[in-house]
Amino acid sequence: MGKVKIKKSSTVIDMTAMSDVTVLLLTFFMLTSTFLQKEPVQVITPPATSENKVPDEKLVQVLVAPDGKVYMNLTGAKDSTQLSTETFRTEVLQFAYDKYCETHPGMPKLTASQAKEFSKIGTFGVPMKDLTKWLDMTLEKRDEFLKEKGGIPIELSVKDGTTRNEFQTWLLAVKHVMGGHGEDLGRHLIGGQGVAIKAGQDAPFSHVQMVMDNLQTEKLNKFVLMTSLKAEEEK
């Protein structure tokens, strides 16, 4: 009797559908992910047991570097109809710069292109006198400048509150812009959810204390301290 030949089926798997799903997932995550922006200095936050999360929107982040220099980062609302990040940064810049120019005549005019460039920048921190020059630099030159000559002046030169230093001027601008975009944003800021201090564990405490004093001078008495979660064996 003859042998029955069994027809072999193909072992090739059609991966077209899987490739389509992969591309769709990749596109989804690219459009919905929030990418971390580069900071001028590396800050290692002190460990803590608190698991409370710092808001990722409507936030003013104050960065205190290990050498004591102070930088800021402004993030608007995720809902662009409320206060987008670019609008937030542009309006804060314009108000703060105009306020500074009131007591410092002869400053160069802030151009539309410089304001647009600022709206795309994450962490910033240069003296006002160097701001327009810094915005005209290339990205590489900006990073070098921040490391060598950066830092927002925070010294409390006048104690009666009639004259603000540059850090306080930025805070005043933040209050003005957030308050002008609705009572909810104003309450969010004053309530302590809108300001976060990110200080390295090696940062001088005197500078961190000075930042807190500046915040309180501008009636921002509540704020969040950013920390890293302490490991179980460290508790």
As a whole number of angstroms, the distance between CA 140 and CA 212 comes to: 31
Residue 111, domain member (yes or no): yes
State pLDDT tens for residues 144-193: 998 888 999 988 655 544 578 999 999 999 999 998 888 788 888 888 78
Residue 31, domain member (yes or no): no
Residue 76, domain member (yes or no): yes
State pLDDT tens for residues 38-50: 555 555 555 544 5
Residue 170, domain member (yes or no): yes
Higher pLDDT, 209 or 82: 209
Cβ atoms of 178 and 220 closer than 8 Å: no
Residue 68, domain member (yes or no): yes
How many structural domains comprise the chain? 1
- At 92, the pLDDT band (50, 70, 90 cuts) reads very high
What integer pLDDT is reported at residue 191 of this predicted model? 81
Residue 15, domain member (yes or no): no
* pTM of structure: 0.76
Residue 165, domain member (yes or no): yes
Residue written as token pair 């160097």: 130
| Mean of the per-residue pLDDT values of the chain | 81
Residue 5, domain member (yes or no): no
- At 4, the pLDDT band (50, 70, 90 cuts) reads low
The range of the structural domain enclosing residue 91 comes to 47-234
- At 11, the pLDDT band (50, 70, 90 cuts) reads low
